[in-house]
Structure 1
Amino acid sequence: MQPYLQYIVLLGAVVIVGAFVMPRKKQEHSLPSQSMQNMETALEQFMENMEKDNEELVQLVRDAQQETKVDAERQEQRIAELERKCEQLAEQLQMARSATATITLQTASPQPLSIDAGKSEAAFAKLPEPVEEEAPRANTIHSRYAELFSLYEQGKSIEMISKKLGMNKGEVQLIIQLAKQEEAAHA
């Protein structure tokens, strides 16, 4: 009987050792589920942070779009204002030209003809010479914006001219355009 008893004791010892080992395996299995929960929690937090960041980016894009829209409206208003000023300047230029032409015609109008040929030649000699348009040209766009036209004739870009002179590009373009119109009118 003794060998059976040894087998039973040995079998009991194996069962006891197995019982101690089994809970350890369960703890080892519970550790991965714990780490899985930690990973899921971390992923959820990461996703929440990403959503917040995305919302902030969307808001920044909206703000940038709004600012761009406001800037575009301001630029459109500025362009409309410059076009109005251009029209006013063109009208003033036309009025100045017509006034100059009227003055020129008045000063160049002939004196009443007299019957005496000698007197008419003397009167013709006394007629003032036609007034050259030098007086209005003294106050031309070229003279008022000499530096601008100097840079333009050197081949500088409108953008560079506007930066150097502290003017808007639209103003530089407008001045150049008015100068071309003025030259065409005097040609």
Structure 2
Amino acid sequence: MSNWQYIVLLGAVVVVFGLLLPRRKQPAAAQVVNNMEVSLEQFMENMEQDNRELTALIVQSQEEARTKAQRSEARLADLERKYSALEQLLEQQKNSAVSMPTAWVQPVKAAAAVPHVPAVLIDEPEELEEPAPPAKQTIQQRYPDLFEFHQQGKSIEAIAKKLNMNKGEVQLILQLAKQEEGARV
């Protein structure tokens, strides 16, 4: 065979191989597209399932909130009813205390009828004592940590950080303490 026949034969083989090669790649590209479509469909199904679960959770939360609100409203109505009954008992006790001698008046035993009644409502109003006024404290007694840090030479910023206060608040307390000392002298 001559050279030109080898060249023609070689060219024919290259052409045939060239025609076959793109056909191989087309099914691979179609496979990639198909895989992407399947993946996207699966992703969409997962998203829909997650959305359904989230919606069910929201509905459940709303139901729980409604139930809790209804229980709270019922409890509030019950407490209001008990409060009005106690007010009536107290008013009756006051009225009976005015018309009868004080030796005949017995304390109201409302605690047996209504649980958790404060002791103030059980005793007679005449027996109630006024609370003693609180002892007057100085600024330094109310904020001992602040003045301890100040005496140690800490800065206002450091004192404010340690005590979780504002700088202005620390400055105000220190100024009030100075005024208080000036008033005592």
Judge same fold: TM > 0.5, yes or no. Answer: yes
Aligned Cα root-mean-square deviation (Å):
2.8
Q: What is the CA–CA distance in structure 2 between the aligned matches of 1:140 and 1:91, rounded to whole Å? A: 11
| Cα drift, residue 141 of structure 1 | 5.0
Moved over 4 A (4+): 139-142
Q: Following the alignment from structure 2 to structure 1, what is the Cα–Cα distance between the partners of residues 119 and 9?
A: 113
Q: Show CA shifts across 1:161-185 (max 9, x none).
A: xxxxxxx9xx42x333303x52x41
Name the % identity.
16
Following superposition, the deviation at residue 99 of structure 1 comes to 5.1
Question: 1:7, 1:31 → 2: CA distance?
Answer: 37
Measured against aligned partners, the alpha-carbon deviations of 1:11-62 in whole angstroms (never above 9, x if no partner) come to 1112222222221111121121111101110121122112212211221122
Whole-Å separation in 2 of the counterparts to 1:177 and 1:50? 56
Aligned residues: 127
Quick check: which one's helix share is greater?
1
Q: Structure 1 residue 185 and structure 2 residue 126: aligned?
A: yes
The aligned counterpart of 1:46 is: 46
What pairs with 1:79-158 in structure 2 (closer than 5 Å)? 79-98=79-98, 100-101=100-101, 133=103, 136=105
Gaps of 5+ in 2: 129-185
The one-letter amino acid paired with 2:127 is H
Paired residue for 1:7? Answer: 7
Following the alignment from structure 2 to structure 1, what is the Cα–Cα distance between the partners of residues 78 and 43? 52
Scaled by the length of structure 2, what TM-score is found?
0.57
In structure 2, distance between residues paired with 1:59 and 1:140: 48
| TM-superposed deviation, 1:91 | 2.8
2:75 is aligned with what amino acid? Q
Q: TM-score, normalised by structure 1?
A: 0.57
One-letter amino acid of the counterpart of residue 23, structure 1: R
Counterparts of 1:67 and 1:177, CA distance in 2: 34
Q: Which has the larger radius of gyration?
A: 1
Give me the whole-angstrom Cα distance separating, in 2, the residues matched to 1:185 and 1:141.
16
